[in-house]
Amino acid sequence: MDHAIQIEQLTKTFGNFTAVNAISFEVAPGEIFGFLGANGAGKTTALKMLTGLLKPSGGQAWVAGIDVQRKPEQVKRRIGYMSQKFSLYEDLTVRENIRLYGGIYGLKRTDIKAKTAVLLEKLQLEPYADQLVAGLPLGWRQKLAFSVALLHEPRIVFLDEPTSGVDPLTRRQFWDLIYEAAHNGVTLMVTTHYMDEAEYCNRVSIMVDGKIEALDTPRNMKKTFAAEDMDEVFRKLARSGS
Amino acid sequence: MNRFFAFVLKEFRHIYRDRRTMLILFGMPVVQVLLFGFVLTNEVKDANIAVLDPSKDPASIRLTNKLVSSGYFRVAANLQSPEQLEPAFRNGSIKLALVFPPDFGHTLDHEGTAKIQLIGDASDPNTATTLINYANAIILNFQQEYAQSSLGAQQAPQPMILAESRMRYNPEEKAVFNFVPGVMTLILMLVSAMMTSITLAREKEMGTMEVLLVSPLKPLQIVLGKTAPYLALSFLNAVLVVLIGMLVFGMPMRGSFLLLGFECFLYMFVALSLGILISTRAQTQMAALFVSALSLMMPTIVLSGFIFPRESMPVFLQAVGTAFPATWFIPIVKGVMIKGVGLSYLWKETLVLVGMAVVFIGVSVRNFKSRLE
């Protein structure tokens, strides 16, 4: 129960192909954990096992202290999730989207109303509350999607490439929201392919071919690999792996 | 239940915000029923015919009058020579030509037999066959009358079989009786299966499906939540089509509304489960649309007996047709509405639909789960 996420020898095989090969690590509460890897390295598969979307083939994983293999439904209640593609419905208004997520996570109507007001004020979206999400700039939508993922006060939030396609300034603002959430004790597991973002994480793991090849703070990792920045670390690792 | 409600509410919003969906849901059924009802009909009224009558005797004139007074035919042209036949057919002014020999009445009276020629425009074979059949029936009738009247007294009566036919359930042979059940079958399949598969594929395409799956909603809740609104709207559609059929086209309702409602729900459930099945395979809305259109729409229209009688299909196609729910649903609707029969006559068709629902749902659930393993 000390760890927000605890993984032991977690494995996923599809036929002969091993997508995730006996990975083990822990994530502390309130930590921002960067989960990196090239496409096809297995990070999406690992993330799906941790969010209860895929059943592990072997090993164990606890998310918020709950066994993912045995009680995926209980895990789902306690986590938030924002996907790389999109988490909001474009043909619903801002307010309707918030109400929908509050609803499917079982919040009371009065709670949803109160939270909606707070959220709209924080994101300065009040004037747009009753407009369709389709009309909002991408950066705003991403911030809104993140806030919506936090609506039911999950202890752990999974962010799957949350900032892809967003301009640098908005990305920076987005990370401010992430820091604020971490400050409030929320654990964040983030996948990204922006290596500058990897530097914002407390710790970073790099997956290559289903295995975790490196796991450390960005600073230590750069030291170990004698690299200028995370980009160089990543390239060195990815090259050795293939 | 609050969760489920929030989800269903969202689905209704999707539907009414999307004009195209609304149009397909409510515009199409009305337009189709009216279109099929008014336009696509096998009935023939006032078909233009040409008469070539060189004999011009009482018998030939009587026969021509009898044809015209039936209401099926209208004499558009009185031809003088056989050469005029070809141009008349070519420019499409006539559908049928009636050709008498020069001494029709004389031959008929003295030899007891005479020949006439019926020439149909078979570029439209259905209409041609119908017209020839009508004309033949009238000529047969004329022959019997004629034999009994004038020369019946002089000649020995010939043995004659008088076949009196009656068309049960639909004495006026209204084509609408065939099309209303057909359109209903088509619409319900379209709305239930196609819309379901598209709406589920849309969640996948937009990436929102993942978010839903990560949420505490159970997969079954997601599927039910997405389909429930369409089930409700489909039912509304069924009611609409039946009402138009009854009020506009005089379709009878001889059986029980309750049974019809139950059968509609069963059929929609089969269609919905087909839609879910398609969506477990299709990744995009376009793929879902194409698969639904090709695998459901075409067989529903062509193989189910909606437009073309199943009895006249090759055995192989008849067998293929039995794999589609529409083939079993159409006889149910006709049975309940037109014949007024109950479940004791329709249990076989009903059972087949139940079986289909079980199989389709079973396979979709397996497909759905295999994604999570």
Q: Which residues of A touch B9 (CB under 8 A)?
A: 100, 103
Tell me what the mean pLDDT of segment A50-77 comes to.
90
Q: Which residues of B touch A153 (CB under 8 A)?
A: none
Of A53, A77, A158, Cβ closest to residue B216: A77
**What is the β-pairing status of strands B73-79 and B47-52?**
parallel
Give the CATH number, domain containing residue A140.
3.40.50.300
Cα radius of gyration rounded to whole Å, chain B? 28
Of B2, B214, B372, Cβ closest to residue A76: B214
Q: Which residues of A touch B10 (CB under 8 A)?
A: 89, 92, 96, 100
- Report CB contact under 8 Å: B372, A53: yes
Report if pTM > 0.90. no
* B298: closest CA of chain A, how far (Å): 31
CA–CA separation, A169 and A139 (whole Å): 9
Range of the domain at B333: 176-370
Q: What is the pLDDT of residue A116?
A: 94
Q: A75: nearest CA in chain B?
A: B216
Q: Which residues of A touch B198 (CB under 8 A)?
A: none
Residues B219 and B77 in one domain: no
Q: Is A165 on the interface with B (CB under 8 A)?
A: no
Q: Is A102 on the interface with B (CB under 8 A)?
A: yes
Q: What is the pLDDT of residue B127?
A: 80
Q: Which of B118, B145, B168 is the last residue of a domain?
A: B168
User: Is A24 a member of any domain?
Assistant: yes
Backbone φ and ψ for A80, nearest 5 degrees, come out as -110, 160
Q: Which residues of A touch B222 (CB under 8 A)?
A: none
Of B17, B206, B216, Cβ closest to residue A76: B216
Tell me what the mean pLDDT of segment A201-223 comes to.
91
Selected residue with higher pLDDT from A189 and B306: A189
What is the biggest distance separating any 2 CA atoms in chain A, rounded to whole angstroms?
Answer: 55
- Report CB contact under 8 Å: B3, A79: no
User: Is A235 a member of any domain?
Assistant: no
Mean pLDDT of chain B: 84
Domain count within chain B? 3
* pLDDT > 70 in chain B, percent: 91
| pLDDT over 90 (residue A186) | yes
Q: Which residues of A touch B17 (CB under 8 A)?
A: 91-92
| CA distances to B49, B89, B120, B200, B293 from B45, in Å | 12, 18, 15, 47, 35
- The 3-state DSSP class for residue A226 equals coil
| CA distances to A47, B24, B364 from B223, in Å | 23, 21, 11
Backbone φ and ψ for A58, nearest 5 degrees, come out as -160, 170
| pLDDT over 50 (residue A242) | no
Q: Where do the H-state alpha helices sit in chain B?
A: 2-17, 19-22, 28-38, 58-69, 85-90, 104-111, 125-148, 176-189, 195-206, 208-214, 219-247, 257-281, 285-292, 298-302, 315-321, 325-334, 343-370
Residues B104 and B68 in one domain: yes
Selected residue with higher pLDDT from B41 and A66: A66
Q: Is A54 on the interface with B (CB under 8 A)?
A: yes
Q: What is the pLDDT of residue B315?
A: 87
Q: What is the pLDDT of residue A142?
A: 87
| CA distances to B11, B17, B331 from B296, in Å | 24, 26, 18
Q: How many CB pairs under 8 A join A and B?
A: 78
**Predicted confidence band of residue A102 (pLDDT cuts 50, 70, 90):** very high
Residues B149 and B72 in one domain: yes
> B-side interface with A, Cβ within 8 Å?
2-3, 5-7, 9-10, 13-14, 17-18, 206-208, 210-218, 372-373
User: Is A194 a member of any domain?
Assistant: yes
- Report CB contact under 8 Å: B6, A103: yes
Find residues 114-133 of chain A whose CB sits inside 8 Å of chain B. none
| Paired tokens of A44 | 């999406």
- Report CB contact under 8 Å: B217, A104: yes
Residues B138 and B80 in one domain: yes
Range of the domain at A80: 5-213
Amino acid found at B44: V
Residues B26 and B94 in one domain: no
Q: Which residues of A touch B5 (CB under 8 A)?
A: 103
Dihedral of alpha carbons A84, A89, A95, A96, sign: negative
Mean pLDDT of chain A: 89
Of A54, A76, A86, Cβ closest to residue B215: A76
Of B207, B214, B216, Cβ closest to residue A86: B207
Residues B362 and B213 in one domain: yes
* B166: closest CA of chain A, how far (Å): 57
User: Is A225 a member of any domain?
Assistant: no
Q: Which residues of A touch B214 (CB under 8 A)?
A: 51-53, 76, 79, 81, 158
Of B6, B9, B214, Cβ closest to residue A81: B214
| pLDDT over 60 (residue B342) | yes
Domain count within chain A? 1
pLDDT digits (tens, 9 = 90+) for B103-122: 888 888 888 788 889 998 88
Tell me what the mean pLDDT of segment B225-240 comes to.
87
| pLDDT over 90 (residue B287) | no
**Predicted confidence band of residue A138 (pLDDT cuts 50, 70, 90):** confident
Q: What is the pLDDT of residue A149?
A: 92
* pLDDT > 90 in chain B, percent: 12
| pLDDT over 80 (residue A238) | no
Least confident of A212-216, B153-157, B271-275: B153-157
| CA distances to A135, A138, B18, B34, B283 from A90, in Å | 8, 11, 11, 36, 19
- Report CB contact under 8 Å: B13, A96: yes
CA–CA separation, B153 and A84 (whole Å): 97
Give the CATH number, domain containing residue B64.
3.40.1710.10
Number of alpha carbons in the 13 Å side-chain half-sphere of residue A164: 12
| pLDDT over 70 (residue B156) | no
**Predicted confidence band of residue B144 (pLDDT cuts 50, 70, 90):** confident
pLDDT digits (tens, 9 = 90+) for B132-141: 888 888 888 8
Residues B215 and B325 in one domain: yes
| pLDDT over 90 (residue B77) | no
CA–CA separation, B107 and B83 (whole Å): 24
Choose among B194, B203, B186, B199: nearest CA to B289. B194
Q: A159: nearest CA in chain B?
A: B211
- Report CB contact under 8 Å: A92, B13: yes
| Paired tokens of B66 | 């009898």
* A81: closest CA of chain B, how far (Å): 7
**Predicted confidence band of residue B26 (pLDDT cuts 50, 70, 90):** confident
Q: Is A146 on the interface with B (CB under 8 A)?
A: no
* B221: closest CA of chain A, how far (Å): 10
pLDDT digits (tens, 9 = 90+) for A149-159: 999 999 999 99
* pLDDT > 70 in chain A, percent: 97
Amino acid found at A81: Y
Other CB atoms within a 10 A radius of the CB of residue A127 amount to 8
